[in-house]
């Protein structure tokens, strides 16, 4: 209110010491030099680019902190309902450029560091990515944080502070993926704030004793106790003071070391338990789309993952509850003040954990507790692939979390009683819906638990949400009613994925629309105004020139990092994503070989009429995913042969760029003419890079899958290149493969020829690739033999279209113009309104 009493000491003395957000260049240079001198102990004489990056980051961080403090104080005072986004992954990438953009200080910082003898672009390059995620799921979480802050919505993220992010990918001379650790915290991290005073104890193992008083309560004791320590990461909104928080937990031993063992001279035993506590947050699991089963890890590996999940959910819930209790409201009001979003099933243990707290500690009845739980949680599903649905072995859960297993069994009992009541005598249905899957061992089905413990469930694109309703959660729709099962189509933040990565295009858009950047970047539908300029020749030329410069920037990047020369007078064709059979990088590389063979068979005169093309791949494979790694090896070796072939190298070049990351994507995406999103229909839940490419004027070659469909709805089918079978056909085709297989030579001769060349050793020892080729020859679960011919036809249409460059540029402009729907601002507002029931809460 401004009329409040000053809480402590002399108001004027406090205020005189308070820092505001830097405003002009001289504030910034002062802060920079001050940090170089005092925080970093450096001077003009010995400050290198990395040091200068650190000094700039510390100056920016001070500005963020001012806003962050105000935001948190504002929330505490207004006490709005908040949402908590629980995600085991936050794939943030770099922060400095984004922080400066959102603070509105980019120009000032650029000028300031220039005065001090540095070039901002070089400094930005010195920052290491925060890569605490595997792929789309983790990057989506990062986009949603950006949009929540930008739209002034009270959302906090909760995750883990891994010591090691996603592994660094190296490529061996044979073309194999090698993994190296990513020690991203080696240098101090200016973007986090250690909160060593914010800690919680988390228990593992021990015994759970049910009380005999019929209350349903239990006493869980003994076992291992580990401390969770908070590290806060500031999340600035664009052009607003709102700066939200991402709280990451680090594990540490409850006691330094075991004094008894230490005193007895057994130093190893003394530190053993402290090591096992620290191990919990030491590394991000590098598997994507894999329940821990499939990775075939040792039990200890699986146990560590389960411990990560519980450690993080328990600390986060304790923190959320403490904040709520500080308001003095009765516990039954909890769902009016907190919505908890479960990003996939990874945080599902939060459901039995909240039950445990409410029953055992708050002493509520089962029904009261369940009422609160089912009004608090929301669950987003990100895949319908059966191998990706998380299941935990009952004996493992019993060992690590004995009380939670009791609660899960109780939930299951009440749940199945209700199902039986609605569908009497339907034993099959009970078995299908049970939280427990029979078998050796029995397993807990986490998606079922997440579903019944949540207020609402959603998929991430229209088609995917429909598949959730009609396949994996069909029984639950029949039991609970369809209104619980919705859709929120994914989105991406236009700040990072247009303005930051492609500032020339962003400037051209601002100039052309005559709308301030700060307006259209938060109201992306405004891009539609570009449609009026497709017929403006001058505008088209500028549009094309920017794409060309982005290609040259990418070529320079490849030259400096890999020493390879990429030609820029060619179409750039890009597929960048995690390596997975369902994403069908194999289809792409076999298509490249087909093109190569075709070019080889031509006369020079025929060849000269062909479209020149450079094909880029990038992406990591899970370390234990043998077939995916073999695909990388094939790509690398095909590249070696093709790029060295004098007959064809002017027309076809191929690159596998190692160590794909957010930062690499920021260089690749703006340079792309066409990008590939070619999953078997019905397998890619949404995809988000498809949106990023289109936002940057790249056209899309894809299957009728995930968000590709909604992109085509927006931009018009004549502006995308679709191919392949549709989702409803997939089941049938797979049945044919299994029961009436047709030899590949008969079914798809073009593909058979390509496979034979690989086998025969055109790209090195063919025997190496047999296991990969056999996935196609036998079974062909991802339907390459069904889609190959139409894929090749679609590639030919892309070539034809590109030859009419003027028309291509029009398509490119139309595509960008119609991408408004895919801003993550739209998505996060849908969650806020239709799921969490939150209101925008600006800092006043
Ligand atoms: C889905 F199940 C998973 C997973 O383990 N990891 C992951 O990145 C992705 N996802 C989907 O594959 C994408 O289609 C989707 O766009 C993304 O999650 C975000 O929803």
The distance in angstroms from the start CA to the end CA of the chain is: 10
Q: 388 CB less than 6 Å from ligand 1?
A: yes
Q: 684 CB less than 6 Å from ligand 1?
A: yes
- Same domain assignment for residues 249 and 149: yes
Q: How far apart are CA 113 and CA 664, in angstroms?
A: 24
Q: Is the pLDDT of residue 298 over 90?
A: no
Q: Looking at residue 300, what is its pLDDT?
A: 64
Q: 706 CB less than 6 Å from ligand 1?
A: yes
User: How much distance in Å is there from the Cα of 289 to the middle of ligand 1?
Assistant: 7
Instruction: Tell me the residue length of the chain.
Output: 844
How much of the chain exceeds pLDDT 70, in percent? 98
> Which CA distances in Å does 40 have to 121, 188, 195, 214?
21, 10, 21, 61
3-state DSSP assignment of residue 550: helix
Can you tell me which atom of ligand 1 is nearest the CA of 687?
16
- Same domain assignment for residues 750 and 623: yes
Q: 382 CB less than 6 Å from ligand 1?
A: yes
User: How much distance in Å is there from the Cα of 380 to the middle of ligand 1?
Assistant: 11
Can you tell me which atom of ligand 1 is nearest the CA of 706?
14
> Which CA distances in Å does 406 have to 136, 220, 349, 447?
34, 11, 13, 18
Could you tell me which of 639, 661, 553, 644 has the C-alpha nearest to residue 588? 639
Residue-range definition of the domain harbouring residue 710:
494-822
Closest residue by CA, ligand 1 atom 7 = 137
Instruction: Please check whether residue 105 lies inside any domain of the structure.
Output: no
Q: 140 CB less than 6 Å from ligand 1?
A: yes
Q: Looking at residue 3, what is its pLDDT?
A: 64
Q: pLDDT category, 292, cuts 50, 70, 90?
A: low
Instruction: Please check whether residue 310 lies inside any domain of the structure.
Output: yes
Question: What is the pLDDT averaged over residues 54-67?
Answer: 97
Can you tell me which atom of ligand 1 is nearest the CA of 288?
5
User: How much distance in Å is there from the Cα of 435 to the middle of ligand 1?
Assistant: 23
- Same domain assignment for residues 481 and 501: no
Q: What string of H, E and C letters represents the secondary structure of 618-659?
A: ECCCCCCCHHHHHHHHHHHHHHHHHHCCCCCCCCEEEEECCC
- Same domain assignment for residues 294 and 414: yes
> Which CA distances in Å does 6 have to 18, 76, 77, 78, 141?
14, 17, 15, 18, 38
In DSSP terms, 485 is beta-bridged to: 457
Can you tell me which atom of ligand 1 is nearest the CA of 578?
8
Q: Give the residue, out of 382, 703, 831, with the most ligand 1 atoms within 8 A of its beta carbon, to mutate for a pocket test.
A: 382
Can you tell me which atom of ligand 1 is nearest the CA of 134?
8
Q: Is the pLDDT of residue 446 over 60?
A: yes
Instruction: Please check whether residue 21 lies inside any domain of the structure.
Output: no
> Which CA distances in Å does 464 have to 242, 686, 702, 722, 777?
33, 7, 16, 18, 29
Read out DSSP for 302-338? HHHHHHHHHHHHHHHHHHHHHHHHTTT--GGGHHHHE
Q: Looking at residue 22, what is its pLDDT?
A: 78
User: How much distance in Å is there from the Cα of 622 to the middle of ligand 1?
Assistant: 14
Q: 136 CB less than 6 Å from ligand 1?
A: yes
Q: In what helix (H) or strand (E) does residue 253 lie, and over which residues does it extend? A: strand 243-253
User: How much distance in Å is there from the Cα of 344 to the middle of ligand 1?
Assistant: 9
User: How much distance in Å is there from the Cα of 694 to the middle of ligand 1?
Assistant: 19
Instruction: Please check whether residue 479 lies inside any domain of the structure.
Output: yes
- Same domain assignment for residues 240 and 306: yes
Read off the pLDDT of residues 228-241 as tens digits, 9 standing for 90 and up. Answer: 999 999 999 999 99
Question: Cβ distance 137 to 343 under 8 Å?
Answer: yes
Q: Is the pLDDT of residue 659 over 60?
A: yes
Q: Name the DSSP letter for residue 530.
A: G
Q: 700 CB less than 6 Å from ligand 1?
A: no
Closest residue by CA, ligand 1 atom 19 = 137
Read out DSSP for 140-167? HHHHHHHHHHHTT--EEEEEE--SB-SP
Q: Give the residue, out of 136, 577, 581, with the most ligand 1 atoms within 8 A of its beta carbon, to mutate for a pocket test.
A: 136
Q: Which tokens go with 569?
A: 């007078």
Q: Looking at residue 145, what is its pLDDT?
A: 99
Q: How far apart are CA 177 and CA 344, in angstroms?
A: 28
> Which CA distances in Å does 664 have to 54, 459, 645?
21, 28, 27
Read off the pLDDT of residues 809-829 as tens digits, 9 standing for 90 and up. Answer: 999 999 999 999 999 999 999
Q: Which tokens go with 334?
A: 């909890």
Instruction: Please check whether residue 124 lies inside any domain of the structure.
Output: no
Read off the pLDDT of residues 671-702 as tens digits, 9 standing for 90 and up. Answer: 999 999 999 999 999 999 999 999 999 999 99
User: How much distance in Å is there from the Cα of 378 to the middle of ligand 1?
Assistant: 17
Q: Is the pLDDT of residue 202 over 80?
A: yes
Q: 137 CB less than 6 Å from ligand 1?
A: yes
Query: How many of the other CB atoms lie within 10 Å of CB of 777?
Result: 18
Q: In what helix (H) or strand (E) does residue 192 lie, and over which residues does it extend? A: strand 192-204
Q: How far apart are CA 382 and CA 477, in angstroms?
A: 17
Q: How far apart are CA 436 and CA 428, in angstroms?
A: 13
Read off the pLDDT of residues 68-87 as tens digits, 9 standing for 90 and up. Answer: 999 999 999 999 999 999 99
Closest residue by CA, ligand 1 atom 5 = 289
Question: What is the pLDDT averaged over residues 505-531?
Answer: 98
Q: How far apart are CA 466 and CA 478, in angstroms?
A: 14
Q: Looking at residue 295, what is its pLDDT?
A: 40
Query: How many of the other CB atoms lie within 10 Å of CB of 183?
Result: 12
Q: Is the pLDDT of residue 142 over 50?
A: yes
Can you tell me which atom of ligand 1 is nearest the CA of 140?
19
Could you tell me which of 799, 750, 796 has the C-alpha nearest to residue 776? 750
Query: Which residues lie below 8 Å from residue 766, measured CB to CB, with a gap of 6+?
Result: 758, 759, 760
Closest residue by CA, ligand 1 atom 10 = 137
**Residue tagged 């006490």 (tokens):** 79
In DSSP terms, 655 is beta-bridged to: 616
3-state DSSP assignment of residue 236: strand
In this predicted model, which residue has the larger pLDDT, 351 or 2?
351
- Same domain assignment for residues 560 and 454: no
Question: Cβ distance 622 to 628 under 8 Å?
Answer: yes
Q: Which tokens go with 513?
A: 């629309």
- Same domain assignment for residues 504 and 470: no
User: How much distance in Å is there from the Cα of 835 to the middle of ligand 1?
Assistant: 20
Taking all residues of the chain, what is their mean pLDDT, rounded to a whole number?
Answer: 96
User: How much distance in Å is there from the Cα of 679 to the middle of ligand 1?
Assistant: 12
In DSSP terms, 245 is beta-bridged to: 156, 234
Q: Is the pLDDT of residue 267 over 50?
A: yes
Q: Is the pLDDT of residue 291 over 80?
A: no
Inter-helix orientation angle 49-78/96-103, to 10°: 50
Q: Name the DSSP letter for residue 762.
A: B
Question: Cβ distance 248 to 193 under 8 Å?
Answer: no
**Residue tagged 């709520």 (tokens):** 324
Half-sphere exposure of 244 (CA within 13 A, CB side): 26
Question: Cβ distance 465 to 485 under 8 Å?
Answer: yes
Q: Are strands 130-132 and 155-160 parallel, antiparallel or unpaired?
A: unpaired
Question: Cβ distance 659 to 170 under 8 Å?
Answer: yes
Q: Give the residue, out of 89, 383, 710, with the most ligand 1 atoms within 8 A of its beta carbon, to mutate for a pocket test.
A: 383
Question: What is the pLDDT averaged over residues 168-197?
Answer: 97
Can you tell me which atom of ligand 1 is nearest the CA of 385?
2
Active site residues: 382, 577-578, 583, 688, 692
Q: Give the residue, out of 88, 89, 131, 137, with the most ligand 1 atoms within 8 A of its beta carbon, to mutate for a pocket test.
A: 137
Instruction: Please check whether residue 251 lies inside any domain of the structure.
Output: yes
Instruction: Please check whether residue 464 lies inside any domain of the structure.
Output: yes
Closest residue by CA, ligand 1 atom 4 = 289
Q: Is the pLDDT of residue 294 over 50?
A: no
Q: Is the pLDDT of residue 296 over 90?
A: no
> Which CA distances in Å does 587 have to 412, 591, 655, 780?
43, 6, 16, 12
Question: What is the pLDDT averaged over residues 182-192?
Answer: 95
Q: What angle do CA 209, 215, 217 make, to 5 degrees?
A: 35
Can you tell me which atom of ligand 1 is nearest the CA of 287?
5
- Same domain assignment for residues 505 and 590: yes
Q: 686 CB less than 6 Å from ligand 1?
A: yes
Domains held by the chain: number: 2
In DSSP terms, 35 is beta-bridged to: none
Could you tell me which of 835, 749, 729, 735 has the C-alpha nearest to residue 792? 749
- pTM for this prediction: 0.97
Q: 687 CB less than 6 Å from ligand 1?
A: yes
Q: 383 CB less than 6 Å from ligand 1?
A: yes
Q: Give the residue, out of 289, 692, 706, with the most ligand 1 atoms within 8 A of its beta carbon, to mutate for a pocket test.
A: 289
Q: Is the pLDDT of residue 35 over 60?
A: yes
User: How much distance in Å is there from the Cα of 821 to the middle of ligand 1?
Assistant: 19
User: How much distance in Å is there from the Cα of 172 to the middle of ligand 1?
Assistant: 28
Q: pLDDT category, 777, cuts 50, 70, 90?
A: very high
User: Given phi > 0 = left and psi -120 to 50 = alpha, else beta, which region is 39?
Assistant: alpha
Q: Which tokens go with 605?
A: 């005169």
> Which CA distances in Å does 361 have to 124, 220, 345, 449, 501?
49, 11, 25, 22, 49
- Same domain assignment for residues 133 and 206: yes
Question: What is the pLDDT averaged over residues 490-517?
Answer: 98
Q: Looking at residue 46, what is its pLDDT?
A: 94
Instruction: Please check whether residue 70 lies inside any domain of the structure.
Output: no
Q: 688 CB less than 6 Å from ligand 1?
A: yes
Could you tell me which of 703, 633, 618, 711 has the C-alpha nearest to residue 668? 618
- Same domain assignment for residues 477 and 506: no
Q: How far apart are CA 393 and CA 440, in angstroms?
A: 9
Q: 460 CB less than 6 Å from ligand 1?
A: yes
CATH of the domain at 189: 3.40.50.2000
User: How much distance in Å is there from the Cα of 137 to the middle of ligand 1?
Assistant: 5
> Which CA distances in Å does 86 have to 83, 249, 345, 681?
10, 12, 10, 29
Q: Which tokens go with 35?
A: 């940090």
Among 197-201, 213-217, 776-780, the least confident range = 213-217
3-state DSSP assignment of residue 819: coil
Question: What is the pLDDT averaged over residues 167-180?
Answer: 98
Query: Which residues lie below 8 Å from residue 259, measured CB to CB, with a gap of 6+?
Result: 270
Q: 827 CB less than 6 Å from ligand 1?
A: no
Q: 458 CB less than 6 Å from ligand 1?
A: no
User: How much distance in Å is there from the Cα of 272 to the middle of ligand 1?
Assistant: 37
Q: Does 498 sit behind a cis peptide bond, omega within 30 degrees of 0 on the bond before it?
A: no
Q: 153 CB less than 6 Å from ligand 1?
A: no
Q: Looking at residue 301, what is its pLDDT?
A: 64
Q: 289 CB less than 6 Å from ligand 1?
A: yes
Q: Is the pLDDT of residue 496 over 60?
A: yes
Question: What is the pLDDT averaged over residues 787-810?
Answer: 98
Query: Which residues lie below 8 Å from residue 266, measured CB to CB, with a gap of 6+?
Result: none
Question: What is the pLDDT averaged over residues 306-310?
Answer: 98
Can you tell me which atom of ligand 1 is nearest the CA of 685?
14
Q: 698 CB less than 6 Å from ligand 1?
A: no
User: How much distance in Å is there from the Cα of 383 to the middle of ligand 1?
Assistant: 6
**Residue tagged 């089962």 (tokens):** 366
Q: Which tokens go with 502?
A: 């492609």
User: How much distance in Å is there from the Cα of 135 to the middle of ligand 1?
Assistant: 7
Q: Where are the beta strands (DSSP E) in 687-780?
A: 699-703, 720-723
Half-sphere exposure of 340 (CA within 13 A, CB side): 32
- Same domain assignment for residues 517 and 467: no
Question: Cβ distance 475 to 429 under 8 Å?
Answer: yes
Q: Looking at residue 2, what is its pLDDT?
A: 52
Q: Is the pLDDT of residue 506 over 70?
A: yes
- Same domain assignment for residues 416 and 552: no
């Amino acid at each position: 209110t401004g009329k409040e009493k000053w809480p402590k000491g002399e108001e004027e003395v406090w205020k005189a010491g308070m820092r505001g957000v830097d405003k002009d260049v001289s504030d910034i240079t002062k802060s920079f030099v001050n940090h170089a001198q005092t925080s970093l102990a450096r001077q003009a004489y010995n400050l290198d680019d990395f040091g200068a990056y650190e000094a700039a980051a510390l100056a920016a961080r001070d500005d963020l902190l001012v806003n962050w403090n105000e935001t948190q104080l504002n929330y505490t005072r207004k006490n709005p309902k908040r949402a908590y986004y629980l995600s085991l992954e936050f794939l943030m990438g770099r922060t400095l450029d984004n922080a400066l953009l959102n603070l509105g200080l980019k120009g000032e910082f650029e000028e300031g560091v220039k005065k001090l003898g540095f070039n901002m672009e070089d400094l930005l390059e010195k920052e290491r990515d925060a890569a605490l995620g595997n792929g789309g799921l983790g990057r989506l979480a990062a986009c949603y944080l950006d949009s929540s802050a930008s739209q002034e919505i009270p959302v906090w993220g909760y995750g883990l502070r891994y010591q090691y992010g996603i592994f660094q990918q190296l490529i061996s001379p044979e073309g194999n993926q090698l993994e190296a650790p990513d020690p991203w915290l080696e240098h101090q991290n200016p973007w986090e704030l250690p909160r060593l005073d914010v800690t919680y104890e988390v228990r593992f193992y021990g015994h759970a004793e049910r009380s005999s008083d019929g209350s349903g309560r239990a006493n869980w004791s003994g076992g291992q106790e580990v401390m969770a320590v908070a590290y806060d990461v500031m999340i600035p909104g664009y052009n607003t003071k709102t700066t939200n928080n991402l709280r990451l937990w680090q594990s540490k031993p409850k006691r330094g070391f075991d004094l008894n063992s230490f005193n007895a001279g057994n130093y190893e035993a003394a530190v053993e338990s402290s090591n096992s506590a620290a191990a919990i947050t030491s590394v991000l699991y590098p598997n994507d789309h894999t329940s821990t089963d499939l990775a075939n890890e040792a039990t200890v590996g699986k146990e560590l993952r389960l411990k990560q999940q519980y450690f993080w959910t328990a600390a986060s819930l304790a923190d959320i509850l403490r904040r709520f209790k500080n308001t003095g409201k009765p516990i039954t009001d909890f769902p009016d003040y907190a919505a908890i979003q479960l990003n996939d099933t990874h945080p599902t243990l939060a459901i039995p954990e909240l039950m445990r707290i409410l029953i055992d500690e708050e002493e509520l009845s089962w029904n009261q507790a369940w009422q609160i739980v089912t009004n608090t949680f929301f669950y987003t599903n990100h895949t319908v692939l059966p191998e990706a649905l998380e299941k935990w072995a009952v004996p493992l859960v019993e060992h690590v979390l004995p009380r939670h297993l009791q609660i899960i069994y109780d939930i299951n009992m009440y749940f199945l009683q209700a199902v039986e009541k609605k569908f009497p005598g339907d034993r099959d249905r009970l078995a299908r819906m049970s939280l427990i899957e029979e078998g050796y061992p029995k397993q807990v089905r986490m998606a079922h638990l997440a579903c019944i413990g949540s207020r609402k469930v959603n998929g991430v694109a229209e088609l995917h949400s429909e598949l959730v309703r009609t396949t994996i959660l069909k029984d639950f729709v029949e039991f609970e009613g369809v209104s619980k099962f919705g859709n929120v189509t994914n989105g991406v933040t236009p700040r990072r994925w247009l303005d930051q990565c492609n500032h020339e295009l962003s400037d051209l858009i601002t100039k052309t629309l005559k709308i301030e950047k700060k307006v259209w970047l938060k109201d992306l539908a405004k891009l539609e105004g570009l449609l009026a300029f497709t017929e403006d020749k001058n505008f088209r030329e500028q549009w094309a020139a920017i794409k060309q410069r982005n290609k040259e920037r990418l070529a320079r990047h490849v030259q400096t990092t890999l020493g390879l020369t990429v030609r820029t007078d060619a179409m750039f064709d890009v597929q960048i994503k995690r390596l997975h059979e369902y994403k069908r990088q194999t289809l792409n590389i076999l298509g490249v070989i087909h093109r190569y063979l075709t070019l080889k068979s031509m006369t020079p005169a025929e060849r000269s009429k062909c479209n020149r093309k450079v094909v880029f791949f990038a992406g990591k494979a899970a370390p234990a995913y043998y077939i995916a790694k073999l695909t990388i090896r094939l790509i690398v070796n095909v590249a070696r042969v093709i790029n060295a072939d004098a007959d064809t190298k002017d027309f076809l070049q191929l690159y596998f760029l190692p160590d794909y990351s957010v930062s690499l994507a920021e260089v690749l995406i703006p340079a792309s003419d066409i990008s590939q999103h070619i999953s078997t229909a019905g397998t890619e839940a949404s995809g988000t890079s498809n949106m990023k490419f289109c936002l940057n004027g790249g056209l899309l070659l894809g299957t009728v899958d995930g968000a590709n469909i909604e992109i085509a709805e927006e931009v018009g089918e004549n502006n995308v290149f679709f191919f392949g079978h549709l989702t409803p056909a997939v089941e049938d085709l797979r049945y044919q493969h299994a029961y009436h297989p047709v030899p590949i030579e008969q079914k798809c001769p073009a593909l058979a020829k390509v496979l034979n060349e690989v086998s025969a050793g055109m790209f090195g020892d063919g025997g190496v690739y047999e296991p990969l080729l056999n996935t196609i020859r036998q079974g062909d679960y991802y339907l390459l033999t069904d889609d190959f011919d139409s894929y090749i036809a679609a590639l030919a249409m892309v070539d034809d279209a590109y030859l009419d460059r003027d028309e291509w540029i029009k398509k490119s402009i139309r595509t960008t113009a119609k991408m408004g729907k895919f801003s993550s601002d739209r998505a996060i507002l849908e969650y806020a309104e239709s799921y969490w029931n939150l209101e925008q809460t600006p800092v006043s």
